[in-house]
Amino acid sequence: MTERVPPAAAGSERRPAAALAVDGLAVAAAGRPVLRDVCFRLEPGSCLGLVGETGAGKTMACRAITGRLTRIGVTVTGGSVRYGGIDLLAQSPARWRRLYGRRIGLVPQNSLGSLDPVMKVGRQVRETLRELDPGAPHDARAAELLEMVHLPRPRQVLGAYPHELSGGMRQRLMIALALAGRPDLLVADEPTSALDMTVQHGIVDLLAELRAATGMSTIFVTHDLSVVESIAEQIAVMYAGTVVESGPAPVILTAPRHPYTRALLAARPTRAQRGARLAAIPGQPRPLAPGLAGCQFAERCPLASDQCRAEVPPLAEQGPGHRSACWHAADVPAADRHDAPGAGA
């Protein structure tokens, strides 16, 4: 196999990576809030794991970062998203067309739904390159991208239709397409969902390898804390449209300071004993609504008090770089040995 060349090798000199800052982001759909006061940071060259159960708002936050909110008819009602000194929420559609794919790449959730089923892979790759990297020799660059993501027999893959590839191969193809414009920020929106465990590990390892080779910053979105422990330096936990805890990954995984994070750790499949029922969080998330009082998690929380039901807790400092939105953060038990990173794997 020939040596893999980082994306900066062809074309213009690579720009320095830039930090992402999301502060107080609020989004509404048809007048109803779907995100509220979302805050997190991504340092240059690092990986942030954005974690939460289905409906927590992870994908909506990704759409705000990648300029795709207007495509689904939702509006930003507050906050800011800044990347490398650029106010992403203030960009015009024309400016976004220059940013998307070049500065910010996206790996979407559904690889099969994101590819044209009646167009061969090679044509889709070349059309992406014509848009994002017009100066590159497209055939050579297409083969290079497939080699970067370890897709075997590039010529055969380029001549196939999407349905002829396995789920893992399609996901690697989506990563290759996301890298076509040499972005310095990659947003991977649940790239391991619907894949078996072995393939999941392969995708996670690939993203870690690409980040090391290119220096790009990465947001890795998932509902499974077990997945992010091997790739993310930082974790932000979302619940019911807001971030309830954020901080260094080792701290979040061993010493959480929010009951929801602690419940997610206890519910990890790798923790389960053979023949025992999986741990679950009772109840359902309360939807965001104007004027709702108290903590969104209060109805499901074993630590909830009258204060929790009456007052919204701020995202307060718990330690260096560690913040939690919980009135009883000090009472949240540390993860036990079964919940610790790598346990049961």
pLDDT surpasses 60 at 122: yes
DSSP-assigned letter for residue 121: H
CA 228-100-84 angle, to 5 degrees, is 75
Mean pLDDT, residues 253-282 taken together: 81
Sheet containing 74-83: order of strands: 32-42, 20-29, 74-83, 86-87
pLDDT surpasses 60 at 339: no
Residue entry with tokens 């903590």: 295
**Six token digits for residue 186:** 């990659």
**Six token digits for residue 330:** 């000090």
Residue entry with tokens 């995984």: 253
pLDDT surpasses 80 at 1: no
Mean pLDDT, residues 166-182 taken together: 95
pLDDT at residue 71, rounded to an integer: 67
Mean pLDDT, residues 173-184 taken together: 95
pLDDT surpasses 50 at 8: no
Mean pLDDT, residues 221-229 taken together: 89
Long-range contacts from 22-25, C-beta under 8 angstroms, 24+ separation: 22/61, 22/64, 22/65, 22/79, 22/80, 22/81, 23/79, 23/80, 23/81, 23/82, 24/78, 24/79, 24/80, 25/61, 25/64, 25/76, 25/78, 25/79, 25/80, 25/81
The C-alpha atoms of residue 72 and residue 221 are separated, in whole angstroms, by 20
**Other CB atoms within 10 A of residue 198 CB:** 8
Average pLDDT of every residue of the chain: 87
CB 165 within 8 Å of CB 154: no
Closest C-alpha among 139, 125, 113 to residue 177: 125
Report residue 165's pLDDT band, with 50, 70 and 90 as the boundaries: very high
Closest C-alpha among 68, 102, 105 to residue 186: 105
The C-alpha atoms of residue 335 and residue 339 are separated, in whole angstroms, by 5
pLDDT at residue 14, rounded to an integer: 46
pLDDT at residue 230, rounded to an integer: 87
Mean pLDDT, residues 159-188 taken together: 95
Mean pLDDT, residues 181-190 taken together: 95
Tally the residues of the chain.
345
pLDDT at residue 275, rounded to an integer: 60
DSSP string, 3-61: PP--GGGSSSPPPPP--EEEEEEEEEETTEEEEEEEEEEE-TT-EEEEE--TTSSHHHH
Q: Write the single-letter amino acid at 252.
A: I
pLDDT digits (tens, 9 = 90+) for 10-28: 333 444 444 899 999 999 9
Evaluated on CA atoms 327, 37, 258, 19, the torsion sign reads negative
